[in-house]
Amino acid sequence: MDRLILDHVLDHEASHPERIYFTQPIGNGHVVDYTWGQVVGEARRMAAHLQSLGLPRGARVAILSKNCAHFIMAELAIWLGGYTTVAIFPTETAETIRYVLEHSESSALFVGKLDTWPAQRPGVPKGLPCLAFPLAPGEARSAFEGWDAIVARTPPLAGRIMRGADELAMLIYTSGSTGTPKGVMNTFGAFSRAAVLAAEFARERVGAGTESRVISYLPLAHSFERTWIEGASLAAGDTHMFFADTLQSFVEDVKRARPTLFISVPRLWLKFQQGVFAKMPPAKLDRLLRIPILGRIVARKVLAGLGLDAVVYAGSGSAPLPADLIRWYRRLGLVLGEGYGMTEDNSISHTARVEMEGGAEPGWVGVPMKGVEVRLSPEGEVLIKSPGQFAGYYKQPELTAASFTEDGFFRTGDLGERRPNGLLRITGRAKELFKTAKGKYVAPAPIENLLLAHAKIESCMVSGVGQPSAYALVVPAEDLRPRLPSDTALRQQFEAEMVALLQQVNAQLADYEQLGLLVIAREPWSIEAGTLTPTMKIKRNRIEATVALQVEGWYARGQRVLWA
């Protein structure tokens, strides 16, 4: 590769410094715009300040912040200064924050936009230099020197600053659905290739004559958002990036951006659908969509209500998306396709290609991206060689060696099947397979997808290690949960629907896979409770542990559908 990510960035700074890059909400409906000249100019000044701290080249500098303009400016400053970024999920506990900072040997920390800083503060080692973003909590802004004050007094680093392709750009600590987070080492070469491929894919979808607008709200500490939103926009230089303000203002933030490219995760696609159903029953919407002219008007109105009426291409990743949900969005006119990637390949692996015959079938994660090689092991494990391949796990050479085949393919841990045209379906995680008392392995993910197709289920988990049969634990949709405890008729109707769903799902499964019971959870799973990862995947081990003492009793009750 001739040009690395900083080459693209500095070219944009030189060629169109006045073009708006970021629109940042600052509260009460107000926003601030940042041009390319301002973004790189402030990053140059902060880079000079970091160098004044006397950090050695390659030193790790951490960022603890929700998505905001200064997150990306700080990353550019870290890179321009000669350092490596360590981004920490903004929802992490003090314990995990301390682990990441100490394991990575971070030399400084940017504290940014956060909701629970007082609880997180004890995780920051005493004496670690800290700097506060403008949107950092008041306690952080009063305790640490602020970004604006530093850039106001510091002359910028001048000239065309270069980093080597083999230098470490970032450590990404996996979100830890099981066990301790691992530090994935990504070089400038790998990240740059990934960013360019994501930018090319996005521009092909959006079209040459269409303005590229995105909203950044999935965690930038995660590879998915880092490559497909930040990296692609840094490489392309013609993307207008908007940020979300709060959870409550999210829909209005999306409407402000009117994104042309929109990427989300399955849990949010489900919540969007359930929000629509809360306003209009599914049967009524279905009837309206069947009417030729009115159906198109209704579909457009639904998408406009979500802020997605300008979307040319929508993507989903991070976890499987039910095929029926993809079909539902496509009926509305939203071109929604799944993708597949991992932190270890900078999220560059597979994408749905709607323009290719058979390249975007619901339930499949698409075909290999440019330069990606794929094969299945004899056990059905997906093996990948990607242009975005990582350099290894930080301080874990044995794990790194064990994660590759002898000829350099990464062992993803995912089980899959492929079609001759390269289309890939993920059938589960090898480590998630479990045995019931019948002695046969059950893959939970495909069964969970069948359950999640029901409009009144927000999330679910299938388990049953050593039990007579598998069971499903389901969380009712958000609009239903507050009403179910007190509304007897509604509760009975929901239970009856769950009985029907259980029969419907079992009819599609082999005998040994069939669910013996369906258990309705009384409380939702959440990041705060530790039952969801920061990217909203279920923490299977954690949920199983919380219900472990109840499982035997569930089976003993002899009911097909019951409450936890």
Where along the chain do its domains lie? Answer: 5-206, 261-309+311-430, 433-563
Angle between helix 188-206 and helix 5-15 axes, rounded to 10 deg: 60
Given pLDDT bands bounded at 50, 70 and 90, which one contains residue 116?
A: very high
| Predicted TM-score (pTM) of this structure | 0.86
Query: What number is the average pLDDT over the span 191-211?
Result: 91
| Record: fold of 433-563 | GMP Synthetase; Chain A, domain 3 (3.30.300)
Residue 443: per-residue pLDDT: 86
- Residues 96, 148, 61, 130, CA torsion sign: negative
Does 177 have pLDDT greater than 70?
no
pLDDT greater than 90 at residue 57: yes
Size (the chain), residues: 564
Q: Please count the other Cβ atoms lying within 10 Å of the Cβ belonging to residue 153.
A: 9
Residue 359 confidence (pLDDT): 79
CA distances, 91 to each of 94, 143, 243, 484, 529 (Å): 10, 21, 17, 29, 11
Name the percent of the chain lying above pLDDT 90.
75
**Residue 524 confidence (pLDDT) above 70:** yes
Question: Of the CATH numbers 3.40.50.980, 3.60.110.10, 1.20.1440.230, 3.40.50.970, which one belongs to the domain with range 5-206?
Answer: 3.40.50.980
The Cβ-side half-sphere exposure at 27, using a 13 Å CA radius, reads 5
Question: Are domains 5-206 and 261-309+311-430 of this chain identical in fold?
Answer: yes
Q: Which two tokens stand for residue 230?
A: 């930040």
507 has a pLDDT exceeding 70: yes
Q: Is the pLDDT at 387 greater than 60, yes or no?
A: yes
What pLDDT, in 10s, does the model give residues 160-176?
A: 999 999 999 999 998 65
Q: List for the chain the helix, strand, coil content (%; round to 5).
A: 40, 25, 40
* CA dist 336 → 123, 247, 326, 370, 401 (Å): 40, 23, 6, 20, 37
pLDDT at res. 53 = 96
Q: How far is residue 5's CA from residue 412's CA, in Å, rounded to a whole number?
A: 26
Mean pLDDT, range 138-149, rounded to an integer: 97
Confidence grade of residue 474 (pLDDT, cut at 50, 70, 90): very high
Q: How far is 383 from 406, CA to CA, in rounded Å?
A: 12
Q: What was the pLDDT predicted at 471?
A: 94
The two tokens of residue 483 are 């009403």
Span 81-102, pLDDT tens digits: 999 999 999 999 999 999 999 9
Q: For 261-309+311-430, give the CATH class.
A: alpha beta
* Mean of the per-residue pLDDT values of the chain: 92
Mean pLDDT of 61-76: 98
